[in-house]
Amino acid sequence: MKKEKVYAFKAALKYRKRLWRRIEIKGNQTLGDFDYIIREAFNHDTWDHLSEFYSGQVWYSKGFGEIEPDGRGSGAKKQIDQLGLIEGNTMEYVYDFGDDIQHIITLEKIVEPEKETEYPRVVSKNKPKYRYCESCEEQMVKTIATWSCIECSDEEQREVLLCEDCLEKEHENHYADEILY
Ligand SMILES: [Zn+2]
Ligand SMILES: [Zn+2]
């Protein structure tokens, strides 16, 4: 039986390239599998919004078909080893056609699979540049902020960053965005 190769990609946000994840996926796995792990790795919802992979620039090159959040859609079934990629090739990926969050996906290398390893998997990510919760800071405590309160940020015209506890206690029912590191 032919051993499946592993495709090692680097996925980065197109407009915040500092934020990236290295993801390995097997050749016989699908764009639907790839979509799911990208959504998880970049804190995108796995239950909402369409996404699509493109052979080149998002909107301007050949799309591989839409992928729905539940893993259905015309683009979900295509296998990674059927995309005709060679090392160094770049694709793009868009999550949420409205918010238009674009990613650059580079095939860094094709390698042999490791034994007893589940694919796809995230193997590394950018070094996080943490920011801190402003409510905790007022108490002279340094806690990593994991949320940005959209409502307070809009109102105060600056970014209001919070930890989970402070968001729940002091900003109950406010819309908030999870911060990606
Ligand atoms: Zn806090
Ligand atoms: Zn708030």
For 99-117, the pLDDT digits (tens) are: 999 999 999 999 999 999 9
pLDDT of residue 3: 75
**Same domain, yes or no: 160 and 73:** no
**Same domain, yes or no: 86 and 155:** no
**Same domain, yes or no: 93 and 117:** yes
111 φ, ψ to 5°?
-130, 175
**Same domain, yes or no: 110 and 169:** no
CA distance 69 to 50: 6
pLDDT of residue 2: 65
DSSP string, 111-127: EPPPTT--SSEEEEEPP
Q: How far does residue 175's CA lie from ligand 2's centre (Å)?
A: 7
> Ligand 1 being an ion, which residues bring their Cβ within 5 A of it?
133, 135-136, 143, 163, 166
Q: How far does residue 83's CA lie from ligand 1's centre (Å)?
A: 45
Q: How far does residue 33's CA lie from ligand 1's centre (Å)?
A: 35
Q: How many domains are there within the chain?
A: 2
Contact (Cβ atoms closer than 8 angstroms) between residue 34 and residue 53: yes
**Which two structure tokens, joined as six digits, stand for 170?**
């002091």
Which one of the ligands is nearest to 146 CA?
Answer: 1
Query: Domain range for residue 174?
Result: 134-178
**Same domain, yes or no: 105 and 56:** yes
pLDDT of residue 169: 96
> Could you read off the pLDDT of 24-74 as tens digits, one per residue?
999 999 999 999 999 999 999 899 999 999 999 999 999 999 999 989 999
pLDDT of residue 1: 54
Which one of the ligands is nearest to 165 CA?
Answer: 1
Q: How far does residue 44's CA lie from ligand 2's centre (Å)?
A: 21
Q: How far does residue 31's CA lie from ligand 1's centre (Å)?
A: 38
Q: Would you say residue 1 lies in a domain?
A: no
**Same domain, yes or no: 170 and 85:** no
Q: How far does residue 124's CA lie from ligand 1's centre (Å)?
A: 27
**Same domain, yes or no: 107 and 21:** yes
Q: Would you say residue 91 lies in a domain?
A: yes
Domain CATH code at residue 32: 3.10.290.30
CB atoms within 10 A of CB 31: 27
Q: How far does residue 107's CA lie from ligand 2's centre (Å)?
A: 40
Contact (Cβ atoms closer than 8 angstroms) between residue 59 and residue 95: no
> Could you read off the pLDDT of 137-168 as tens digits, one per residue?
999 999 999 999 999 999 999 999 999 999 99
Domain boundary among 125, 143, 168: 125
**Same domain, yes or no: 150 and 167:** yes
Q: For residue 21, what are the β-bridge partners?
A: 11, 125
